[in-house]
Copies of this chain bind each other. A is one copy, B any other.
Amino acid sequence: MSVTAREIRLASRPDGWPTEENFAFADVELPSPSAGELLVRNTFMSVDPYMRGRMNDVKSYTPPYELGKALEGGAVGTVVESGVDGVAPGALVLHNAGWRSHALVSQYTPLTPVEGVSPSHFLGALGMPALTAYVGLLDIASFEPGETVFVSGAAGAVGSLAGQFARLKGAGRVVGSAGSAGKVAHLTGKLGFDAAFNYRDGAVADLLARAAPAGIDVYFDNVGGDHLEAAIGALNNDGRVAVCGSISMYNEKQPPPGPRNLHLLVGKRLRLRGFLVLDHYDRFGAMAAEVGQWLAGGKLVAEETFVDGLDNAPAAFLGMLRGENTGKMVVRL
């Protein structure tokens, strides 16, 4: 059996903000899987901030996407035809050949469907974003119960989980920032943040000082830029920053100046630590066990924003970069 797969390729590299022109569509014939391979029909695919970095021709922790080739990224799919003993058609797998309708994969993780939980959560609240939030908060920032935690990009996939994990782990106060009044209401309402602000409403340092009048102990940084400067100013002695991402920078042609207050690291004995989730998959089991319980017990809100159809994946990606999602942005195929 062969199938015609539709795939999305990198047509050109963006200079600053990406556009639909940077993407191209193509149909390719996929043969039957060889031994060790699976032919998978994708049902959900992820669009994530880190993908913006891979569109640049810059050596980094993952190689850049290649011009003229299909993009990659997390996806959940159903096995159509199997070249692997013990994996039958119909099985659910997680793999990295997103941005296409079908794929031949040899590296994948078998998934066990969970009653009442959409398989799309394996791309979000039970997947990479959840592990990012979990490791960043607990291992990188060494969060302790009772502490005040500030999360930027708090309505996004990782941020909304980091803030809720802090609450569920006994934070004294959880503060979030987001880019619209609606998101702010969502944070303090449905997600149970103690305070939140719209960073477009003024200087971040002022807004943060009002939301956390006694300062903060941990900052989970998804944004960089003036958020990071404000957080350094607000951190109490022995404060910690988990530097997860800098979405405010990804589309800047010239990097803006950094925080002017790094000298505060000395007097306040602050720690800033960058991390990549790919180094921390040894913690996946612990995360999945704890988060699975919270989800099953209705204690964790795993919000998703769905965009339908592979042809709308570039729009979903661009919308995610502009902050149009609440929770995890997922393309439903």
- A residues whose Cβ falls under 8 Å from a Cβ of B: 53, 60-61, 224, 228-229, 243-246, 249, 255-276, 279
> Which 9 A-B residue pairings sit nearest by Cβ, starting from the closest?
A257-B257, A265-B274, A258-B258, A266-B274, A255-B260, A246-B263, A258-B259, A272-B272, A271-B273
Instruction: Write the nearest CB–CB distance from A75 to chain B, whole angstroms.
Output: 23
Q: Check B257–A243 contact: CB distance below 8 A.
A: no
Contacting pair B261 A266 (CB below 8 A): no
Q: How many Å from the CB of A145 to the closest CB on chain B?
A: 23
Let me know if A266 and B249 touch, CB within 8 A: no
Closest Cβ of chain B: how far from A154's Cβ, in Å?
18
A162 to chain B, nearest CB (A): 15
Return chain B residues, CB-CB under 8 Å to A263: 224, 246, 249, 255
Inter-chain CA distance A271–B241, complex, in Å, is 10
* One of B257, B264, B279 near A269 (C-beta < 8 A): B279
Give Cα distance in the complex from A276 to B256, angstroms.
29
Q: Contact at B279–A274, with CB atoms within 8 Å?
A: no
Most-contacted residue by chain B among A60, A265, A269, A273 (CB, 10 A): A265
- Establish whether residues B60 and A262, one from each chain, have CB atoms under 8 Å apart when the complex forms: no
Which of B259, B264, B267 makes the CB contact (< 8 A) with A262?
A: B259
The listed residue (B60, B249, B260) touching A257 by CB distance below 8 A is B260
Residue from B244, B265, B266 within 8 A of A266 (CB atoms): B244
Chain B residues with CB below 8 A from A260, complex form: 255-258
- Quick one: which of B255, B259, B266 contacts A243, CB cutoff 8 A? B266
B224 touches A267 (CB 8 A): no
